[in-house]
Amino acid sequence: KAGVTQTPRYLIKTRGQQVTLSCSPISGHRSVSWYQQTPGQGLQFLFEYFSETQRNKGNFPGRFSGRQFSNSRSEMNVSTLELGDSALYLCASSLAGTLANYGYTFGSGTRLTVV
């Protein structure tokens, strides 16, 4: 059974550019969440998508956005990149429906460096 696949693994972008990261969840999982990990702030929740709808959102500026497709694959986009956006971006896939929590499987992450 394939795990959670995130692409690309590494990315270097220039300040002011935008970037799109991709996540393919485990087959059958309809929930995809995104997390940002930095040395200073640790692991922080960005947003969760379930059946193509954003269900939950963390405290990040509007430059961070995402979407989910009908096959449950998800993308997140960061516009007008800042140096502080340099981080490891982790995607988590879950069977989670409503009022249930079946746990989360994480991908290997995309390491974004903004120069």
Return residues touching another protein (CB under 8 A). Answer: 31, 33, 35, 42-45, 48, 50, 55-56, 58, 88, 90, 92, 94, 96, 98-101, 103-109, 111
* CB of residue 28 to another protein, shortest distance in Å: 17
Q: How do strand 42-50 and strand 10-13 relate by DSSP bridges?
A: unpaired
**Secondary structure of residue 17 in the 3-state scheme:** coil
Q: How do strand 10-13 and strand 64-68 relate by DSSP bridges?
A: unpaired
Q: Is the Cβ of residue 14 or residue 28 nearer to another protein in the bound state? A: 28
Q: Is the Cβ of residue 24 or residue 31 nearer to another protein in the bound state? A: 31
Q: How far apart are CA 72 and CA 39, in angstroms?
A: 30
**Identity (one letter) of the amino acid at 7?**
T
Q: Is the Cβ of residue 20 or residue 108 nearer to another protein in the bound state? A: 108
